[in-house]
Amino acid sequence: MRPSHPIRGSEITSESAYLNRRDVLQLAAAGGMALAAPSFAWAATGLAAKPGGYDPKEEITPEADATSYNNFYEFGTGKADPAAKSGDFNPRPWSIKVDGLVGKPTEFDLDALMALGLEERIYRMRCVEAWSMVIPWIGFPLSALIDKVEPLGSAKYVAFETIVRPEEMPGQRGIFQPLDWPYVEGLRLDEARHKLTILAMGMYGKTLPNQNGAPIRLVTPWKYGFKGIKSIVRITLTEEQPASTWNRLAPGEYGFYANVNPAVNHPRWSQAMENRIGGGGFFGSNERPTLPFNGYGDEVASLYAGMDLKANF
């Protein structure tokens, strides 16, 4: 994957804008502005995103498709449920606790997370149900957050946990639940520190919509979509491999690694082809071959050297 154009001086956030960001946020709060609303652009915070260096040079999925066709079971199991049922969710104020095998356990608010340095990265994203999108994410490298807490030498994995708010998330209410809450996920530490791995806080030049994981979610573009845990509240560094929700529920269908591999079929469908959402149609109209590691093999294949990628799926 070739780097995108070099960063121009005009694209770098000025020191004055950076120092004034708290004033902007405080004024927005005082005026009742909903910071999570799609109309609130990143430029308004003085933290406009820089190009991040990853662009597959493919047509970007229309924003309307990327924000209306989602998996987010906390709001319902249908693809339209997250957009239709997430209006009562309040993603601010918010903080993420980072703990476990670290020298400096810390709780970060959104202001501190944005200050880690936002970038825009355009990534292919593929869902295990054989559909894909190309999305311009705004976020920062997860490695920047990990470095802040000084991981211990014994840390080998990173565990993630999402919010539980049944009063705001209708998918978490009721007697019969599709999943155990909270939703949890995990990565190996080297995967978490890889330059492709980001924590996204926005998309399409705007703050992250509720249905896409507001206010902050994981993005690992070489893995299937269920690895992209949303609305994260806790990150824990561990020595043992952590649990992940779908792997725990159906280990024969959803592996811990979840690397996109067209040679490994889901028990109920083939993974050899995918349908690109948007651009004139849905299933069948935009079918194309699935790429190993979702097309990021040159970047990430070395992480799995010597592993059996059919056994470790």
Q: How many CB atoms lie within 10 A of CB 77?
A: 12
- Return the pLDDT at 39: 33
Across 6-19, average pLDDT: 33
Q: How open is the CA angle 195-199-201, to the nearest 5 degrees?
A: 135
Residue 17, C-beta contacts closer than 8 angstroms, at least 6 positions apart: 46, 47
Across 78-83, average pLDDT: 97
DSSP track, 230-244: -SEEEEEEESSPPP-
Across 86-97, average pLDDT: 97
Task: List, for residues 277-289, the tens digit of each pLDDT value.
Answer: 986 555 556 889 9
Task: List, for residues 95-148, the tens digit of each pLDDT value.
Answer: 999 999 999 999 999 999 999 999 999 999 999 888 999 999 999 999 999 999
**Domains of the chain, with CATH numbers?**
9-304 (3.90.420.10)
Q: Model pTM?
A: 0.85
Can you point out the beta strands (E) in the chain?
A: 50-51, 95-100, 106-109, 119-127, 131-141, 157-162, 184-188, 198-203, 206-207, 217-219, 232-238, 273-276, 287-289
Q: Helix count (H) and strand count (E) of the chain?
A: 9, 13
Output the CA torsion sign for 257, 261, 265, 270: positive
- Return the pLDDT at 87: 97
Q: What is the mean pLDDT of the chain?
A: 85
Q: Do 124 and 132 form a contact (C-beta atoms < 8 A)?
A: yes
Give the highest mean pLDDT range of 13-27, 225-239, 256-270.
225-239
Q: Provide Rg for the chain, Cα atoms.
A: 19
